Structure 1
């Protein structure tokens, strides 16, 4: 169940170019930029390239997966952070398994088990993934970085979907399967840690083709590619053309959304947009 790495953390895979940053142009519309992000990365390992910063600064609006500056989205997330039923771990794990998970969470993550055991599995998984990154300081959330900068500069922010839509995707995965994936990650962390650190290293090489091979190797990933990537891309394309036609736009979404026949790059080209890859060099923080 290694697909959890992709679903929780990055959604990274390949695109038709070995890059993660693109200029999107149309004869009659303002220039747009599409940046494929990793949703979490060690801050000390990377400085966002100047070409990305400049493109963002020149854009009139920011488009992201979810606009968490929206109070309604914040409220919904706070109200739905817990899994129902709250004792779901007790229902799906033996007493021995619960005790083992409790020990790992308290000893390794530093959280009281009673404090977080009712959270949705996706959120507990995220705590483990942050731990596996082993960052010297808090990880850098690339999407959040652009959102914060947009707030500072009073740049409009547009979300392509809602918190409810994303949580509904995870609710499609049987709860027993989510719990098993969480437990496996906790008790056998070496593979998840290796996958995660490998993904970060490849991303920083600006090599989306190689990322694709790593992501596709994860268990059951094909099963979840359609609902988590392809269908969402098609839904987003119902709004994106109108958004980028209105004003110059910087789009920041998980890099996996760029890829394949139903990837954003392909769907944009089908609608007459010219796509130009912009090579990046991720320079470590000094």
Structure 2
């Protein structure tokens, strides 16, 4: 059985908004692409925003000819975080001394399923938190059931594959936050959730994976079709996950945009709404233009 890689980013990509278009809104952006050129009248550099979905991977990006060309024309790739040995999710969790009493969150059947799921990895599953386990299972569900990734293939996430392409072409890669910060965010986002709610959510997700139900695959098809309304005049619904992070990220992004051409690859939801990167860059005088990817 293939060793699994522990990743959590899906929790902070999609989950706080619906997928239907909103009519009658003038300050919005409706596109059929995930790639946007960013220019400023006072700058000689052209940069790009690329909205990712962390459950997709190599086949998707390789199908986007113009996105790959935009990446290769850039001097810096800016992504959400970097995979640094010793600071991977697995490393962080394994260093913990406390464990979770899983009999309070999982029945015997589900606990056996989780043990078998994690057995190929080096991660000490008992040191995970319920919030972290749900984030992992959500990611696993989207890859296994919604996208139907080949279980024998060593797929990178979309973000990590873009990072690998950049490194192979001597493009500098920088991260906007650490894995430690992302794990803290996952736990803080669900801080105070009652145990019975954690138990119900975990049980439902495990059942969804085992039954291969596609009842939570709508966002996958929505992203694959790239039929987006960015709803730029609507407030973000999650301050911790979107607003606060975007505010911090903009400080770094602005610095890089003024010095070199950049390719920014972050979860698509970070481009959306009033708090999104598109709105923030426009407020600073940048022009954002959708670019066809095929």
Alignment of structure 1 residues 161-176 onto 2, 5 Å = 161-172=177-188, 173-174=190-191, 176=195
Instruction: Choose between structure 1 and 2: higher helix proportion.
Output: 1
Counterpart pick for 2:227 among 198, 207, 211: 207
Give 2:69's aligned residue.
Answer: 54
Contact 1:64 1:159 in 2 (8 A): yes
Return the alpha-carbon distance in structure 1 between the equivalents of residues 212 and 293 of structure 2.
28
Where does 1:23-38 land on structure 2 (aligned, <5 Å)?
23-29=37-43, 30-38=45-53
Q: Does 1:146 align with 2:151?
A: no
Residue in 2 that maps onto 1:258? 271
- Structure 1 spans left out of the alignment, 5+ residues: 213-221, 282-286
Decide which moves more: 143-152 or 130-139: 130-139
* Between 262-271 and 13-22, the greater mean CA deviation after superposition: 13-22
Residue 28 of structure 1 and its aligned partner are, at CA, apart by: 2.6
CA contact (8 A) 2:12 2:241 kept: no
Which of 11, 28, 35 is residue 8 of structure 1 equivalent to? 11
Aligned to 2:111: 102
Q: Aligned pairs, how many?
A: 258
Between stretches 110-119 and 166-175, larger displacement belongs to 110-119
Q: What is the TM-score of this pair, normalised by structure 2?
A: 0.74
> What's the offset of the Cα at 1:42?
6.3
Q: Distance in 2 between matches of 1:132 and 1:117?
A: 25
Higher relative contact order (CA 8 A, sep 6+): 1
In the TM superposition, residue 131 of structure 1 has moved relative to its aligned partner by 2.7
1:100-154 CA-to-partner distances (Å, cap 9, x unmatched) read 21344467x4847996344341334433443323223545511111111122122
Q: CA RMSD in A?
A: 3.3
Q: Tell me how far apart the structure 1 counterparts of residues 199 and 81 of structure 2 sit (CA, whole Å).
A: 25
> What secondary structure sits across from 1:239 in the alignment?
helix
Alignment partner, residue 80 of structure 1: 92
